[in-house]
Structure formats: C-alpha cells, structure tokens
C-alpha cells in the first residue's frame, strides 16, 4: 500500500445550508511528470512554478532560461491530494466538485475513477462525486495532458493550415488555434513562449440536500428618467415536492415568490429614482448590495446569497455622420470620452498573481486618470477580483472574447466547446456594470483582408471561401445569438478594429488600431495626422530601467551584442526602431545603460503626441486606449508599467494628458497654437496663462480669466510669438513655453512645450 506523506485532514464544517469550504488549491498536493515515479511537493498547482520550487528548472524569466524549459510543454503532468471526509459530508444528498479554471486538457480522477475530462481553460466544470467518495481518505488526481501531443494529429490531418504566427517559424506543430487556451502563452511580440499547466482558478467542494442557490445576477433591462426596470436571474436546485419562498428586498422594492424544483429563475422588479453607476469622472459608481433569501414552508432560512448590482444603461453609438461612422459609448445617456489602455495578463504564471496585485494595478489605472481598460483577446477572462475593482472604482471594461490573430477549426466539437465557454463567462460577467462591451476577436477581420494569409498558408480558393464563411458564422452570427440568450443588454462588435489603418479614409470610420508608427515606419508626427474615431490600439516600445533588468539578466550580458538582450526583444523591428528614434534626439552613440533609459523618454514623447492629439481632435475621436498598460514578464514592450508594477517615464505623460482639462501647444511658423479641451460633462470656467521663456527672461504671451470650456468642445487660440523672442532665440531654438490652467486657486493643468524639431531627451523628461 502506498504511504502518502502529505495526507491532509480536510474536514467539512457543516451549517444549516450545507457546509463552508475553502479553495482546495490550499490543500497539500504532490506532482510529477507522468513518465516518472517520484512525486514532488507542489505549492502552486502550476507546473513551471512547482518545477522552479523543486529546483528542477531555473526561472524562465532569468537570462535565456525560457529557451531551456520548452521541453515542459511536450510532457504530461499529474497532481494528487487526499481529502478526508466524514459522515457530515457524506450524509448530504449532493456532493459536487467545481473546477472554475483548469489549464487546459485535464483528466480528473477520484479514487482512480475518471470523473471528468476538461478541455477548455476558460470554462467552469462541475461534477457530482458522492458516488465516488468513501469515508476517510479519498485521493483526488489531476492529470494535465500536453496540448502539443493532444492536438498534433488534428494539425497534421487538417485540410488546410490555420494561422498561428505568434508561435514562431521554428515551431513545427502549431496547435494554438485548436486549443482553448490563452494565446499569449504560445508567444507574442512582447512576451516569451511558455505553455503552462495549472489549476488557475479555485477548486471548490460543494454539498447540499434540498436547496442549492447559485449565481444570482442583476442587470438593467430598461432605464427611464426616474425609474429602472431590473431583472434578477439565479439558479436554484431544490426539492421538487416542497414549496420554497424566495425573498429579495431593497429600500424601495420588495419581491416575494414561491417555487419548487426550478433550476433557472427570474425576478422582474423596478427601482424608483435609482442611484446610477457612472464611470469615474462622470459621476458616482454606485453599487447596490442586497440579499436573496430562500425559506422553507416553516419560514426557516435555508439559503442566502449577497447580490451586488448596479443600475446602468450603456449604448455603443455607431452612426453615419458628416465625416464617416462614429464609435463612442453612452453611459446612462451620457456620452463618454474613453481614456485608458489595453490590459494583458499580469504573468504567464497566473497562480503567482495575488489579489493585492489587482488592487495596485486598478488603483494605478485610477491614479493615471483612466476610465477604461480593454481586456485583450489573446489573454484570459479575468478573475472576479479584477471586475469587482473596476465596478467599485468606475473603470469601464471593454471585454474581448478570447480569440486573437488566428482562425479556428470548422468542426462541431470545437464550436460546442466555444459556446459553453462564452455562456459560462458572459453569465459570470453580466453582473458587472463595468463591462460595457463585448468584442468578438482581436484583429482577425483585418488579418483576413490585409495580411496575406492566403499566400502565407497556401490556401486554395475553396479553402479561402470556407475559412471566410466560417469566420463570418462564428463572429457575426453564432456569438451574437449566444449573447441574445445570455445577455443582450451589453453592446457587441464582431472584431477590433473595424477599420484598418492602411487607408486615410478609414480613419473616419469606427474603431482603429493605428500601427503606422511602429510596424509602418511612420514618424511620430503620424500620430497627429492619423486619428481615428476610436483609437483602440497604438503604441511605441521601451525597455525597463537598467537597474530593474539586472534582477533578471546578468550584468555581463547587459549590452547591445548580448544574445540575452536580443532574445528578450520579441518584436521583429523592436531594438532597431527604438535605436533609430533615440538617435533622432541624441546625435551620438550611447552606452547601453543610457540607451535603455532614453528609450523610455522616446516612448513618453510618442505617447504625449498621440494622446494629446486624440484629446483635442474630439468629437471626431471619442476614445484613446494605448497598447499596453502592463507586462507579463520583464522585457521590452509597449507598456508603461513594468512586470513588477513600477511605472516607466511614459506613465507621467499618460497621467497628465488623461486629466479632465488639458491644453496642447504647437508651434506653427511664427505663431503658437493653443488648444484647450475638457471631458468634464459640466461646463468648466478656467483661467489661462501662457509664457515664453528664453535663457534670460520671460515673455507673457496670453492671459485670460473666466474662460468657459464646454464638454468635448476644443477651444483654439492663435498666439503671436513676440519679435523679440524670434530675433533673439528663434534660430537656435533656445526657448520654451509654459502653460498653466487654473480653476480658482487650483492648478488643474500645467505643461512645458519645446519646439519639436530641436527637442532633446533631457527636455523630454521635463514633461
């Protein structure tokens, strides 16, 4: 008989509703390669982290270690633990294991009986295990299968190749399109390839007898001037032969109902004069907190759940106008200018991300004056903590479904798996007022039309027709039908972007990913002339600070010729393009230390130009979400926030130009153009001062008090540059401008502006 040294006493604590349980990931576990005999202690339920903990591999984030751990993805891995059960648990009629997130192909065994096979990282899996349990010791095993081996035959036998450019040319079998797993794990142009195995969300043990109350959610059906029609949905499994009373009460609504044996229930109720949820800067993100009660016929409480909800209306306005096609959001009938960023998972190893990491990241977004984050489609549907914080802080969430830069199999098994995934996640996310849009995918539509996939993958005309038809079915028919069933109160678009940056006319229509600066080789001035209706992606790379990288790269390898530095850069044009733009400001060769630091000033300058133009070109442009807020590992990227949470230089630019009131100065010949804009929905009265400064004196250029700024209505001034300033300084550009905007005694915006063509890196730092 095997002796399991890690036996853990897991005793269920009973109460009147069933029992209280913890996340079973906190139990004591062992793991091993399925080919091995020896078991190792498991701390994380994440294979790479547990291999690191046991000294089997070095951390993939250090030096070039990522290249040394690629073998892990080709193996299968097994975890086991012991559950100690007693009569208190076994006497319940139902005992259920709920796996809220398994990455990805996983066989689950209870006492050597296969009870479940999971095949989607993004789905929840539930199974009644009472018949498999014994009193005392019970062994639970999770066997994670290699996604490479699992899908190899599908790839080899496919009628045509599916795009998977993120996997790299050196990967012989590209399985990511076939695997319902976070795409960024297979590699991206800002992160390494590390294909993980984990229980990345809680494992719960639930038991009940006659009543099981689950997943209550409330959403706004109709919003009127002084009332709201609301819908409460919940799942209730109860004794079909007994009548139960449902109570849901609030300050000005009171609902009672009687049901039996019903699974999916719905309560319609109204709230008079509701307090509305608004994004930050537009009002209070008010949340209601009520309780849903279930009582038996004796009046005894047998189940309860807290219900957190908000009253919030949302519209996505896509209408023809005199310029093209608009794209903006209304919250409670109030137009909103979106200011934010694209968000990616905070690590490749999701189990190392703590709740405190979410607290700090969302607070950083608030401190940077953001009101929107886009959860990008190559990552994950985030954990509850993320959305709860966005609800509380008033951060709007643009939620992609997890499909990015690829195409997907045209078979019924895949489509069914995908359907359950979307239903699971929309049902979970629909309760969050912060979620204001669902988007079908990232960049697949523009890829099909513009990236030359038909040539790259040698598709026949018949292949091309089938692939395009399947794409249209998935994202323009199938997902909308699922949303009609699950949540039709939140707007949906099939893809992002809806317009491609290749043609000037496209900037007049809908959402835009502008990559002319970077992939297209445009100068930074391209940010001024290429402004779309909603800028959902754009950006410029920088490196983390030199001192920070020393935590991950040996000092002797911190140089231009280092293979580690070359490998750390995942963009095909990355280091060369950064170098080109650094040298545009610094007319000399730099040491690697200074080059890295100056890369951040160049990035800050790029974001200053882009964001300021998006702001002052409103209402043509109604949103700016740069790529990207954060990192998943310590390397160069478009982020303004390092992997461990420290800001880059560009963060201060974002904070400044995302303020409610900003001013933008631009030199045009011998005149200075000043544009003011406010995204405060109420009229603002401000005082304004602009000063020109040379090496020895100041020149007051303009001063105006009591200036009124309307919501999203840019105000322009043309200011003559004094001849004295021109004569003394113009040829050498040894001067700058200072702008100050005040509301009463409070300075709400201040800035320095340097003539663009002679701007130096140290001057950029003054931003």
Kindly state the average pLDDT of the residues 610-618.
97
* Cα gap 193→175, rounded to integer Å: 13
What single-letter DSSP state applies at residue 125?
E
SS3 (DSSP) at 79:
strand
Which is higher by pLDDT, 720 or 727? Answer: 720
* Cα gap 41→32, rounded to integer Å: 9
Residue that is last in its domain, among 657, 674, 706? 657
Q: How many CB atoms lie within 10 A of CB 356?
A: 9
Q: Name which of 488, 477, 400 is nearest 444 in CA terms.
A: 400
Residues 127, 23, single domain; the answer is yes
Q: Please write the tens of the pLDDT for every residue from 61-92.
A: 999 999 999 999 999 999 999 999 999 999 99
Token reading at 540: 């410029």
> Is position 106 within any domain?
yes
Where are the extended beta strands (E) located within 129-253? 136-144, 198-199, 203-208, 211-223, 227-238, 244-249
Confidence label for 7 from pLDDT (cuts 50, 70 and 90) = very low
Mean confidence (pLDDT) of the chain: 92
> Is position 581 within any domain?
yes
CB 210 within 8 A of CB 93: yes
Token reading at 754: 């340097």
Q: Please write the tens of the pLDDT for every residue from 560-597.
A: 999 999 999 999 888 999 999 998 888 778 899 999 99
Residues 136, 194, single domain; the answer is yes
Residues 496, 644, single domain; the answer is yes
* Cα gap 327→437, rounded to integer Å: 12
**Distant-in-sequence, close-in-space partners of 591: CB < 8 Å, separation ≥ 6:** none
**What CATH number is given to the structural domain containing 483?**
3.20.20.80
* Cα gap 274→251, rounded to integer Å: 10
Residues 355, 249, single domain; the answer is no
**What CATH number is given to the structural domain containing 25?**
2.60.120.260
Which range of residues forms the domain containing residue 116?
13-204
Task: Tell me, rounded to whole angstroms, the distance of Cα 69 from its chain centroid.
Answer: 27
Pure H helices in 541-698: 546-549, 563-568, 574-585, 592-616, 650-657
Token reading at 683: 């009229």
Confidence label for 757 from pLDDT (cuts 50, 70 and 90) = very low
Residues 103, 236, single domain; the answer is no
> Is position 194 within any domain?
yes
Residue that is last in its domain, among 204, 239, 262? 204
Determine the pLDDT at residue 5. 30
Kindly state the average pLDDT of the residues 226-240.
91
Confidence label for 4 from pLDDT (cuts 50, 70 and 90) = very low
* Cα gap 528→512, rounded to integer Å: 14
What single-letter DSSP state applies at residue 504?
G
* Cα gap 150→139, rounded to integer Å: 25
Residues 215, 185, single domain; the answer is no
CB 119 within 8 A of CB 92: no
Residue 228 has pLDDT above 60, yes or no: yes
Residue 330 has pLDDT above 60, yes or no: yes
**What CATH number is given to the structural domain containing 281?**
2.60.40.10
Give the side-chain half-sphere CA count within 13 A for 598: 23
Residues 180, 221, single domain; the answer is no
Lay out the sheet containing 301-309: strands in order across: 254-259, 244-249, 288-295, 301-309
* Cα gap 269→216, rounded to integer Å: 14
Q: Name which of 256, 292, 286 is nearest 274 in CA terms.
A: 286
Q: Name which of 654, 624, 625, 650 is nearest 637 in CA terms.
A: 650
* Cα gap 338→622, rounded to integer Å: 6
> Is position 101 within any domain?
yes
CB 43 within 8 A of CB 198: no
Residue 257 has pLDDT above 90, yes or no: no
Residue 607 has pLDDT above 50, yes or no: yes
Residues 462, 349, single domain; the answer is yes
Angle at 569 between CA 764 and CA 450, to 5 degrees: 95
Q: Please write the tens of the pLDDT for every residue from 416-433.
A: 999 999 999 999 999 999
Q: How many CB atoms lie within 10 A of CB 720?
A: 12
Residue that is last in its domain, among 642, 657, 672? 657
Angle at 530 between CA 524 and CA 535, to 5 degrees: 100
Residues 540, 559, single domain; the answer is yes
Q: Please write the tens of the pLDDT for every residue from 294-320.
A: 999 899 999 999 999 999 999 999 999
SS3 (DSSP) at 476:
helix
Residues 688, 608, single domain; the answer is no
CB 291 within 8 A of CB 307: yes
Q: Please write the tens of the pLDDT for every residue from 352-367.
A: 999 999 999 999 999 9
Q: Name which of 540, 596, 541, 594 is nearest 565 in CA terms.
A: 596
Residues 489, 601, single domain; the answer is yes
Residue 172 has pLDDT above 50, yes or no: yes
Torsions phi, psi for 224 (to 5 deg)? -115, 180
Q: How many CB atoms lie within 10 A of CB 178?
A: 21
How big is the chain by its Cα radius of gyration, in Å? 28
**Distant-in-sequence, close-in-space partners of 399: CB < 8 Å, separation ≥ 6:** 375, 381, 429, 435, 437, 438, 439
CB 546 within 8 A of CB 608: no
> Is position 343 within any domain?
yes
> Is position 666 within any domain?
yes
**Total domains in the fold of the chain:** 4
Q: Name which of 386, 381, 382 is nearest 403 in CA terms.
A: 381
Confidence label for 254 from pLDDT (cuts 50, 70 and 90) = confident
Q: Name which of 345, 361, 400 is nearest 200 in CA terms.
A: 345
Element (H, E) at 384: helix 384-393
Kindly state the average pLDDT of the residues 139-162.
97
> Is position 642 within any domain?
yes
Q: Name which of 574, 558, 545, 557 is nearest 634 in CA terms.
A: 545
Lay out the sheet containing 203-208: strands in order across: 125-128, 94-99, 203-208
Residue 758 has pLDDT above 80, yes or no: no
| DSSP β-ladder status, 534-537 and 511-513 | parallel
Determine the pLDDT at residue 12. 38
> Is position 3 within any domain?
no
Residues 644, 666, single domain; the answer is no
């Amino acid at each position: 008989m095997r002796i399991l040294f890690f036996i853990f006493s897991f005793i269920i604590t009973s109460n009147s509703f069933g029992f209280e349980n913890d996340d079973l990931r906190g139990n004591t576990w062992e793991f091993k390669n399925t080919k091995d005999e020896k078991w190792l202690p498991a701390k994380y339920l994440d294979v790479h982290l547990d291999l690191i903990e046991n000294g089997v591999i070095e951390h993939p984030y250090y030096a070039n270690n990522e290249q040394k751990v690629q073998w892990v993805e080709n193996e299968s891995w097994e975890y086991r633990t012991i559950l100690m059960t007693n009569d208190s648990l076994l006497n319940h009629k139902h005992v259920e294991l709920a796996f809220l997130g398994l990455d990805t192909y996983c066989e689950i065994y209870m006492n050597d009986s296969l009870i479940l096979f999971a095949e989607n990282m993004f789905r929840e899996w539930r199974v009644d295990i009472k018949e498999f349990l014994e009193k005392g010791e019970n062994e639970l095993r999770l066997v994670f299968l290699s996604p490479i081996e699992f899908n190899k035959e599908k790839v080899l036998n496919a009628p045509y190749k599916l795009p998977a450019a993120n996997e790299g040319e050196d990967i012989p079998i590209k399985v990511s399109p076939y695997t319902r797993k976070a795409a960024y794990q297979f590699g991206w142009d800002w992160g390494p390839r590390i294909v993980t195995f984990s229980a990345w969300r809680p494992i719960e043990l639930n038991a009940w007898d006659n009543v099981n109350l689950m997943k209550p959610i409330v959403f706004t059906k109709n919003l009127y001037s002084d009332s709201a029609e609301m819908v409460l949905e919940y799942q209730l499994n109860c004794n079909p032969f007994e009548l139960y009373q449902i109570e849901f009460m609030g300050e000005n609504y009171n609902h009672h109902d009687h049901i039996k044996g019903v699974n999916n229930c719905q309560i319609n109720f109204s709230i008079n004069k509701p307090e509305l949820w608004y994004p930050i800067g537009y009002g209070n993100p008010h949340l209601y907190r009520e309780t849903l009660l279930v009582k038996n016929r004796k009046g005894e409480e047998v189940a309860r759940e807290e219900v957190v909800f908000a009253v919030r209306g949302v519209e996505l306005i896509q209408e023809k106008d005199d310029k093209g096609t608009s794209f903006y959001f209304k919250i409670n009938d109030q137009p909103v200018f979106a200011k934010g960023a694209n968000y990616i998972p905070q690590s490749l190893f999701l189990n190392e991300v703590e709740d405190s990491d979410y607290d700090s990241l969302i607070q950083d977004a608030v401190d940077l004056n953001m009101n929107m984050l886009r959860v990008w489609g190559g990552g994950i549907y985030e954990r509850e903590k993320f959305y709860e914080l966005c609800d509380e802080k008033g951060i709007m969430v643009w939620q992609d479904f997890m499909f990015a830069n690829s195409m997907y199999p045209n078979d019924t098994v895949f489509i069914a798996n995908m359907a359950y995934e979307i239903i699971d996640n929309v049902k979970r996310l629909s309760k969050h007022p912060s979620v204001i849009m669902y988007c079908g995918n990232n960049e697949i539509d523009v890829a099909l039309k513009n990236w030359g996939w038909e040539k790259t993958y040698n598709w026949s005309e018949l292949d091309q027709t089938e692939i395009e038809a399947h794409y249209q079915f998935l994202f323009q028919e199938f997902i909308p039908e699922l949303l009609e069933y699950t949540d039709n109160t939140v707007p949906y678009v099939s893809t992002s972007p809806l317009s491609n940056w290749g043609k000037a006319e496209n900037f007049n229509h809908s959402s835009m990913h502008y990559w002319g600066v970077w992939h297209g080789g445009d100068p930074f001035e391209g940010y001024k002339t290429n402004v779309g209706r909603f800028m959902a992606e754009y950006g410029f790379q920088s490196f983390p600070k030199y001192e920070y990288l020393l935590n991950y790269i040996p000092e002797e390898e911190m140089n231009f010729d280092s293979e580690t530095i070359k490998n750390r850069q995942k963009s095909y044009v990355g280091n060369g393009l950064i170098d080109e733009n650094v040298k545009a400001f610094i007319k000399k060769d730099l040491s690697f230390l200074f080059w890295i630091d100056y890369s951040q000033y160049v990035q800050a300058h790029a974001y200053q130009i882009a964001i300021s133009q998006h702001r002052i070109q409103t209402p043509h442009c109604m949103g700016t979400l740069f790529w990207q807020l954060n990192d998943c590992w310590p390397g160069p990227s478009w982020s303004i926030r390092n992997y461990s949470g420290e800001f880059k230089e560009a963060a201060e630019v974002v904070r400044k130009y995302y303020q409610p009131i900003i001013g933008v100065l631009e030199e045009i010949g011998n005149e200075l153009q000043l544009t003011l804009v406010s995204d405060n929905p109420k009229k603002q009265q401000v005082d304004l001062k602009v000063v020109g400064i040379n090496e020895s004196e100041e020149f007051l250029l303009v001063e105006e008090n009591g200036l009124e700024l309307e919501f999203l209505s840019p105000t322009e001034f043309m200011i003559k540059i004094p001849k004295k300033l021109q004569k003394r300084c113009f040829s050498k550009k040894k001067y700058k401008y200072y702008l100050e905007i005040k509301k009463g005694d409070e300075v709400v915006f201040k800035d320095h502006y340097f003539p663009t063509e002679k701007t130096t890196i140290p001057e950029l730092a003054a931003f």
